[in-house]
Chains A and B, each alone.
Chain A
Amino acid sequence: MREIEANTVIEKVKDLCIDANCEVPECLLSALRVAREREDSPSGKAVLGIILRNAEIAREERVPICQDTGIAVVFVEMGEDVRVKGGNLKKVINEGVRRGYKEGYLRNSMCDPFTRENTGDNTPAVIHFDLVPGDKLKLIVVPKGGGAENMSGVTRLRPSDGVEGFKDFVVTRVRESSGNACPPIIVGVGIGGTFEQTALLAKKALLRPVGKPSTHPELAKIEKELLKDINDLGIGPMGLGGRTTALAVHIETFPCHIASLLVAININCHAHRHKEAIL
């Protein structure tokens, strides 16, 4: 059994939190540049230009892209032949988040749901564990802002509602989000599974490189159709009108019960942040 020191994991999670908040992935920047070229709306073009300039400033000055540095969502893929030595993995990840948010001058956005009292260090992180073959530990840190997360939703359709049913649900949810989700957005869609699983599928769909189509040809076609339907809404950058409402739609599916068709949409703002590392 391979062993990794707890401190190595803490330091890595800390760095991932800071890097994810100050640097957006290149796939997002190229999608934004293409969108700026194609955008017809003058205010939409201006907004896209500001977003691109903001990304440069954030990277150069190590300042967060957005003041909402998010809930720290962490996806963990734990090899079956590796263990973390010298600390409970959940505690170790939370310690990394605590240090990352403090040392990176990131905002603490976590609070009690009722008293609204801030936890003071952006913990607890929301951690999703998965066991995989091998002896590696993969960590993906996804700071998730409140504005776009608030626009997400889960619904249960009748199986007979089919493809048109879930397309309607997705487009309607995007229309209702208007400028609140900070468009241009990335749309994650989960279809199938159980209630909690469909939501997780939608979140995982956001981890795919921006615009990379589904490996399933039929789903890839639906992703393309949905992207067109969403961009035809005219919402545009920041909801002020324009052609660019979404940069990509990513769909993930899982088999489901014969009685069910659960669908979830998890929206990400244009500050599409995630960073990963393999230890």
Chain B
Amino acid sequence: MLTADSIRRWCWIHKWTSLVCTLFLLMLCLTGLPLIFRDELSIWLGDAVEPPEHVTPRAAVDLDALVKDAQARRPHDAVKFLIRDDDYPMWFVSLGETPTAPENSALYMYDSRTGDFLKEFPVDHGLVHVLLTLHVDMFAGLPGTLFLGFMGLLFVISVVSGIVVYGPFMRKLPFGAVRRDRSPRLRWLDLHNLLGIATVVWVLVVGVTGVINTLDRPLLGYWQMTEVTDMLQPWKGKPKPAALRPVDDAVRAAEAAEPDMAVRFVAFPATPFAGPHHYMVFMRGQTPLTGRLLKPLLIDVETAQVSAAKDMPWYLTALLLSQPLHFGDYGEMPLKILWALFDLLAIVVLLSGLYLWWKKRDMAEFDLVQQEQLLADGSAS
């Protein structure tokens, strides 16, 4: 049983962690809502296309031809990644101003059955881009992302403290009671409690995985500086390769080495993940769970042989598993709709929390009244 002192402390934690993060969380919930349907939205807005349903497939699509086509569209840029779409028969080719540039300068979509160029996906404009950038870093780069991660951490503390104070607040009420016949403040308090406790696991999971996702760039950077650098060490200082084998050879070598896995994406030579002498082919499993995990294979650009293979470290596995649990993109459209409904309820919890604080700005006083009542009742029983 919580003492009056500890209830007061937890109320204080709930109030202040919530107050600091609420406006940012509202922004995240509002921008996150359309982003649940990001793929559909991109197609609807004309940023992306679905490949045609019926085509005459060619015997074998030359991936190297896609890469050459992409390169020809931006001759001064460097090809960074070749990425397979999870849902449609499509490949993406991403380019940067340099191979090590963190930002994409272009992203091209190709039909994987015919090799046809489909569309250029906008990388620096459009509604989806604005929503995503607001959601990820508020147009403030890595510091913005880390700041939002800290707000997410405060939010998680606020939710946990909310669970702790839920008990004492509900000692007089049946579960789910909404006192409509009382003051609006009590009605909103009841709604805040009901919606908050009923959605708490979803909110915590999306909150914690969101915080983990804010660390993606530091974690990838750390992996690159440690394990990838170790893997590339034997080739350090060697002369630049004379000729590159086509990416198709690298993909075939990776598929032969991991016959139960599929290519998710390929990092091109000179990008930070591949180094000058290799392709890095990232393979994924075939089930919903293992399909999210990656296994990187280093393929020599001159021989197209596997130079090294290493499982991802635990922190990148955690990052990769955090993505679906944050995005809600792993259970078809009904899961996305459920995700949106939970998100809307989270907005109501945030707004009602703000309202409760605003109506009784001196919440401490309100808490004390509650606690005195609780203590009086407690000693009587």
A, B from the same assembly: no
A contact residues vs B (CB 8 Å cutoff): none
